[in-house]
Amino acid sequence: MSLATATAPESAAAAAAPAGRRQGLFRAAWRHGRTKVGVVLVGLVVLTAALGPFLSPYSPTELVGIPNRTDVEGTLFGTDGIGRDVLSRFLHGGYTLITIAVSAALVGVVVGAAIGVVAGYRRGWPDEAIMRTNDMVLAFPQLVLALLVMSIIGPQVWLIILLIGVSHAARVARVAREATLKVVEQDFVKSAEAIGVPGWRIMAGEILPNITSPLLVELGLRITYSVGLIATLSFLGMGLQPPTADWGLMINENRIAITVQPWSVVLPVAAVALLTIGANLITDGLSRASIGIDRGVEK
Amino acid sequence: MTTSTDTTQQDERAALDVAGLTVVGRPSDVEIIHDVTLRVARGDILGLVGESGSGKTTLGLALLAHCKRATEITAGSIALSGAALDPGDAAAVRRMRGRRVAYIPQSPASALNPALRLGTQLREALHDSGADGGEATDAEAAARRRAVAGDPQERVREVLREVALPDDDAFLRRYPHQLSGGQQQRVAIAMAFIGCPDLIVLDEPTTGLDVTTQAHVLQTIRHMTREYGTAGVYISHDMAVVADLADEIAVMYRGEVVERGPADRLLGDPQHPYTVQLLRAVPILKTAGHTAPEPAGEDGPLLRVRGLRAGYGRATVLSGIDLDLARGQCVALLGESGSGKTTLSRSLVGLHHQFTGEVVFDGDPLAPSSYRRTAEQRRRVQYIFQNPYEALNPRKRVRDLILRPYTHLAGQPQDPDAVVATALERAALPASYGERFPDQLSGGERQRVSIARAIATRPDLLICDEITSALDVSVQAEIVELLRNLQSDGMALLFVTHNIALVSNIAQHVAVLNKGEIVEYGDVGTVMSAPTHPYTQALIADTPDFELSFGESPLHRPATKSAPGGD
Amino acid sequence: MSRLILYRLGYGLLTLFVVSLVVFLATQALPGDAARAILGRDATAERVALLRDQLNLNDPLAVQYGKWLAGLFTLDLGDSFANARPVSEYLGPRVTASFVLMGLAALIATPVSLLIGAYSALRRDRAADHATSAVSLVLAALPEFAVGILLILLLSTGWLHLLPPVFAGSASAVLADPAQLILPVLTLVLAVSPPIIRMMRASMIEVLESEYVQQARLKGLPERVVVWRHAAPNAIGPVAQVIAVQLGWLAGGVVAIEFLFAFPGIGLALMDAITTRDIPVIQAVTLLIALVYIVVNLLADVVGLAANPKVRVSAR
């Protein structure tokens, strides 16, 4: 029929375009200016944290001068409350924070996605049980849950990752479940059921590939929050312990002297701020791109 | 027909006069509507017909000087009873809306504000109540002012009575969600007519309504336009409805009006090839039924259903269903929404488990759940879904969409490429489509891929659940033709549909489903020409019948021609 | 409708019960000897024995929990280890002080955020919208203590010495010097607002694009009526949940803020208690924070149900 032939060249042109949805999301996100700003910010902070230990003029625990001075010979930003070099401590203090934050976010997203997909696909009592348990975890603000458990056991790195990860997982599971419910309603899932494809293969092969966009957005968000939470824990003295160099801890140790020696607070606060802002900008770009793709605006 | 009685006088009093209207999309500057000229006389209805993407809704909204986000009217003029509607003058446009021009939306369920009572929404549409009107100069405007200038509450009740809705306070206090779909659409009609406008734009107002409600709503619209002397622009994709209702028809294709003329002339003697194509694609209600080769080898029916009863929880949706389906035969399962037809078809394929009764396929009983059936049974019974946009996993290439189920049911093929190519060819698609993602296909092509996926395993029974309802009529005609070819190859079909007009064109037997029971069953010719059950009779009477008065419909060609792409 | 509310209420109580169990288990029943963990390795055997007795650690777990729970109902939360005063007496004024802080932040943040969000939606894709979006994105990313420190750096040190950087005063008289409250409240407002603003903007945009708003415009209604009668009431519904989450978050968010500004509320009490391993206080404060969170969410549910005519009318 004439119409069918008339539309054929159009779809042929569409087919010629390289087809890969995963790259599509990042490419679409890149088009938003804020994504670029975010990548630059995150890149700067991560580079500082990763290369910092090799560039620092002193060891992070070495005493180099009179405490809380900005004009110490041989230092750029002066000394902290004990007399250690502020710049060296700053350069050493980001690596652990970022590693812990990313680990906790990964734990949260992987566990949360698994829980959410199973709950959303199985429905019925497993769904009820999982989501009600989830609600209990959600009744604690993330920070308070971490403080509660660590108040007795004490601050441990694995415990921080576990607690932040679990409290993330509860929140990610909600998002993954919502996304799964939307996919499950679609007929291609029923089509697989009609020919008897096993449940785990439907979840892994039909559902998971279709919820990667919200999960990536969630990962970005969770990394942002992880950095904030772990920095806050350190700031409260419940994260890494002295004499470790850590941005949150630096703020905690030096905030009393903020009027005489602002650098030892300003540097880590600025780094944490730029990191979280940058991560959130990227997340926002991803989420805008994913909405666009879902609406069929982007190809 | 009123259009031909007094042309000169009509022209002076045209309720709507549109010249050279152009709407472009931003920022791409694509013309969505190009240079459209229309004219509608008072009391007349213009049918605006086009398939999806033709720009008919954009045009309808432009008649009220309304543009969706990122679109803009760039050229042309709109005049309502001689008064120009200038899209640039927002205040003037607002004064015209509701007074001179009103809009009836496609889906009243989403166009009525869920948080406001009906009384509030109706009354606020009445602008001039209690006041002494605007700049009325001619007699009609004066009449309109008289009609609406009285007590607003009384006017609201009056217009509700006119659309056959209750007018008591309890009704006015209701919220939209407390009404049925038909009632909501009547409220939308009342809201449009309350200000006695010169022109009413109706955007597919009966989509989503069953045929009986559709017939009532159309009758109301016809009655109201006559009564008020209001001109109507009726936007639709359904040629049969427009043929029934309109005095004049304009056909839209890719943003342009390709043909315009009095309904009789356009339907009887279409000039533009696209109009001809559109008319030919309209299924014809009454025929003797599609004839198929007699089933060979009589060893009992392929599918036998006895006393099937199905439901959700405690609610029973289906009861006492008996159905037989022979090899190579097509049975149409006809029912309106809520009749239980999808539940029945899903029970048969093993997606709906809560049923009792006997379902026997080729001598062996079928378990309720697809997971309890043998792989061979799952291979031989295949299902095609209604919405081609949801039936294909968007993350997989067509090739994998066809091969994965094949591998799962029939084992690793020796030559995967051949499997894909054959399946695509039988669905009339080129083998090169295997490398595409569903995003890169049109709706009709997607549905063909769904068919290819289903027939790749060479099933004996194909269950088609409303598989053409999401497609344009011209594509629908192609799919129907494809199915008839498959049937000629010996495949049995259960064709589930709400569209009675399609039944004649594909099936030999028809089962009419109403409220969970089969009320009528027989061969198509008998049921369509002499229905015995009152429900079937009403259904046939309420369906707009459309007889092609030129040439013959491609849907009625004998199914001897080979499928396109078969060479 | 009342049945739905009762259901939510019962569910809230159940959640609270489970939360109390978690708090109890986390603080008192972890593997190992809680008393030993609290006192440290070099505590004398007598002190450990005394503490075990005080915590009922010699009873079976269920009995321990029962005694503790019974204490909660009579507001007898035990005595603080650190200062030997009854916990309820010690925390009382601090709870009031924290509620003043959270209440002020909530009262300011909610209406302001809703208005900014709605305004941003009406100005969609113009300069004001872009600015709001960028600022709220930045604020949403920052941990609340960082916002506080930046405010201190800006307003209390260097060139400007407008506001005191730390709170000086007792818990019972936090309103005595309102200027001291400005920084903590402002920090909380800035930290709590961005999600509400973004949600209100998104919700308002969705409603403005809805068919019923289009229909209201096509009816020829003035823009004022379209926005305030047709759009805004429908836009606020979906935001209620986010407001609840944010106000619930306040209860946890005050911890870092009170610590930063040395504000004598429950957050500071919690941090002090953690340092001194003052278990009764830790239990009381975490339970209280969870309680606030649950109650706020419950209220949001009820308000959401009451505001939705579909539920209000059909489920009566």
Nearest beta carbon to residue C145 from set A148, A235, A259? A235
Decide: A190 and B371 in contact? Cβ < 8 Å: no
pLDDT digits (tens, 9 = 90+) for B474-495: 888 889 989 988 988 889 999 9
- Report yes or no: A14 at the B interface, CB cutoff 8 Å: yes
Distance between B307 CA and the closest CA of chain A, angstroms? 23
Q: Compute how many other C-beta atoms are within 10 angstroms of the C-beta atom of residue B136.
A: 16
| A55-59, B138-142, B277-281: segment of lowest average pLDDT | B138-142
- Looking at residue B338, its pLDDT comes to 81
Indicate yes or no: CB of C157 within 8 angstroms of CB of A258: yes
Q: Do A194 and B408 touch (CB under 8 A)?
A: no
pLDDT attached to residue B559:
36
Structural contact between residues B276 and A3, judged by C-beta atoms closer than 8 angstroms: no
CB B47 within 8 A of CB B164: no
CA distance B293 to chain C (A): 50
Do B111 and C225 lie within an 8 Å CB cutoff? no
Q: Are B290 and B506 in contact (CB under 8 A)?
A: yes
What's the confidence (pLDDT) of residue C74? 80
Task: Tell me the pLDDT tens digit for each residue of B111-121.
Answer: 999 889 999 99
Which residue from B97, B103, B113 is facing C212, i.e. has the nearest CB? B113
A2 touching C (Cβ < 8 Å): no
Chain B residues close to A192, C-beta within 8 Å = 405
Q: B11 to chain C nearest CA, in Å?
A: 26
pLDDT digits (tens, 9 = 90+) for B268-296: 889 999 998 888 888 877 665 555 555 55
Q: In chain B, which residues have their Cβ closer than 8 Å to the Cβ of A299?
A: 439
Reading across the β-sheet that carries B83-84, which strands appear in turn? B31-40, B16-25, B71-80, B83-84
Are A220 and A175 in contact by the 8 Å Cβ rule? The answer is: no
User: Contacts of residue B178 in chain C, CB cutoff 8 Å?
Assistant: 313-314
Q: Is A214 exposed, middle or buried (0-12, 13-18, 19+ CB in 10 A)?
A: buried
A141 contacts C248? CB cut-off 8 A: yes
**What is the structure's pLDDT at A262?**
84
Mutate: best of C289, C294, C295, partner A, most A CBs <10 A: C289
* HSE-up (13 A, CA, CB side) for residue A129: 5
Q: Say what the pLDDT of residue B280 is.
A: 84
Does the beta-carbon distance from C146 to A266 stay under 8 Å? no
DSSP B384-413: E-S-TTTSS-TTS-HHHHHHHHHHHHH-S-
Rg (CA), chain B: 26
Whether residues B386 and A186 touch (CB distance < 8 A) is answered with no
Which of C136, C142, C282, C296 would best serve as a mutation to test chain A binding (most A beta carbons within 10 A)? Answer: C142
pLDDT for residue C313 is more than 80? no
Beta carbon pairs, A and B, within 8 Å: 88
Which residues on C lie below 8 Å from A155 (Cβ)? none
pLDDT at C124: 87
Supply the pLDDT for residue B13: 64
Contact B303, B323 (CB under 8 A): yes
Show residues of chain A in contact with C252, CB under 8 Å: 140-144
Per-residue pLDDT, C278: 82
Q: Which residues of B touch C233 (CB under 8 A)?
A: 115
Partner-chain residue, chosen from B382, B393, B439, that has the shortest CB–CB distance to A188:
B393
CA distances (Å), C113 to each of C119, C135, C243, C257, in order? 10, 13, 10, 20
3-state secondary structure (DSSP) of residue B244: helix
Beta-sheet pairing, B492-497 with B509-514: unpaired
The pLDDT tens digits for A247-295 are: 989 988 888 888 788 888 889 999 999 999 999 999 988 888 877 655 4
Alpha carbon distance B503, B524 (integer Å): 7
The alpha-carbon gap from A225 to the nearest alpha carbon of chain C, in Å, equals 7
Residues of chain A found within 8 Å of residue B382, distances taken between Cβ atoms: 194-195
Q: Given pLDDT bands bounded at 50, 70 and 90, which one contains residue C29?
A: low
Structure letter (DSSP) for residue A66: S
In B354-460, beta strands by DSSP E: 355-361, 364-365, 381-384
Task: Report whether pLDDT(C199) > 70.
Answer: yes
Query: How many helical (H) and strand (E) elements, i.e. helices and strands, does chain A have?
Result: 13, 0
The residue of B28, B433, B439 whose CB has the most chain A CBs within 10 angstroms, and thus the best one to mutate to test that interface, is: B439
What's the pLDDT band for C22 if we cut at 50, 70, 90? confident
Determine whether C41 is exposed, middle or buried from the number of CB atoms within 10 Å of its CB (0-12, 13-18, 19+). exposed
Contact check, Cβ <8 Å, B349/A194: yes
DSSP output for C41-61: TT--HHHHHHHHHHTTTTS-H
The residues in C 159-218 lying below 8 A from B, measured between CB atoms, are 209-212, 214-218
Distance CA B139, CA B81 (A): 12
Query: How distant, in Å, are the alpha carbons of B108, B114, C9, C235 from that of C312?
Result: 21, 12, 17, 17
ipTM attached to this prediction = 0.84
Report the alpha-carbon distance of residue A32 to residue A30 in Å, rounded: 5
Q: Name residues whose C-beta falls within 8 Å of residue C172's C-beta, 6 or more positions apart in sequence.
A: C93, C96, C97
- Weakest mean pLDDT among A187-196, A239-248, B5-14, B107-116: B5-14
Q: Is A251 on the interface with C (CB under 8 A)?
A: yes
> Long-range pairs for A234-239 at CB < 8 Å and ≥24 separation?
A234/A97, A235/C145, A235/C256, A235/C259, A235/C260, A236/A147, A236/C255, A236/C256, A236/C259, A236/C271, A237/C271, A237/C275, A238/A146, A238/A147, A238/A150, A238/A155, A238/C274, A239/A155, A239/A160
**Residue C231, min C-alpha distance to chain B (Å):** 9
Q: What is the pLDDT of residue B146?
A: 62
Q: Half-sphere exposure of residue B64, counting CA atoms within 13 Å on the CB side?
A: 35
CB of C87 closer than 8 Å to CB of C79: yes
pLDDT digit string, tens, across residues B38-49: 999 988 999 999
User: Which of C15, C26, C152 has the CB atom closest to A152's CB atom?
Assistant: C26
DSSP secondary structure code for residue C269 in this structure: H
Question: Considering only CB atoms, which chain A residues are within 8 Å of B393?
Answer: 188, 206, 209-210
Can you give the pLDDT at residue A9?
Answer: 35
**Gap from A10 CA to chain B (nearest CA, Å):** 9
Output the DSSP codes for A136-195: HHHTS-HHHHHHHHHHHH---HHHHHHHHHHHHHHHHHHHHHHHHHHHHTSHHHHHHHHT
| Nearest residue in C to B93, CA atom | C220
Q: Per the CB < 8 Å rule, is C293 touching A140?
A: yes
Dihedral sign, Cα of residue C35, residue C39, residue C44, residue C47: negative
Q: To the nearest whole number, what is the mean pLDDT of chain A?
A: 83
Strand order in the sheet with B330-334: B381-384, B461-465, B492-497, B330-334, B509-514, B517-523
Tell me if A231 and C38 make a contact (CB, 8 A cut-off).
Answer: no
For residue A210, give the chain B residue with the closest CA: B395
For residue range B209-253, list pLDDT tens digits in order: 888 888 888 888 888 888 888 999 999 988 888 988 899 999 999
> Which of B66, B95, B107 is nearest residue C218 as measured by Cβ atoms?
B66
Q: What are phi and psi of B233, to 5 degrees?
A: -115, 110
**Among C124, C149, C288, the residue to mutate for chain A (most A Cβ within 10 A):** C149
Q: How far is C198 from chain B (nearest CA, A)?
A: 21
Neighbours of chain A (3+ CB pairs under 8 A): B, C
Please give, rounded to a whole number of angstroms, the shortest distance from the CA of B181 to a CA of chain C.
Answer: 15
> CB–CB of C229 and B107 under 8 A?
no
Does residue C276 or residue B348 have the better pLDDT? B348
Give me the phi and psi of B307, to 5 degrees please. 55, 40
What residues of B are in the A interface, CB distance below 8 Å? 273, 277, 349-351, 370-371, 373, 375, 378-379, 382-383, 385-387, 390-395, 397, 404-405, 408-409, 432, 435-437, 439-442, 444-445, 453, 474-475, 477-478
> How far does the CA of residue B302 sit from the closest CA of chain A (Å)?
19
pLDDT score at A176: 93
In this structure, of A257-261, B12-16, B171-175, B501-505, the range with the lowest mean pLDDT score is: B12-16
Do C310 and B175 count as a contact with CB atoms less than 8 A apart?
A: yes
Phi, psi of B49 (to 5 degrees): -110, 140
**Whole-number pLDDT of residue B81:** 85
User: What are residue A286's phi and psi, to 5 degrees?
Assistant: -60, -45
Residue B423 and residue A124: Cα distance in Å, rounded? Answer: 37
Taking residues A30-46, report their average pLDDT. 90
Min distance A135 CA to chain C CA atoms (Å):
8
Backbone phi, then psi, for B332, in 5-degree steps?
Answer: -95, 135
User: Do residue A251 and residue C149 have CB atoms under 8 angstroms apart?
Assistant: yes
> pLDDT value at position C38?
67
Give the mean pLDDT of C12-22.
87
Interchain contact, B383 vs A3, CB within 8 Å: no
Nearest CA in chain A to C298: A139
pLDDT for res A180: 93
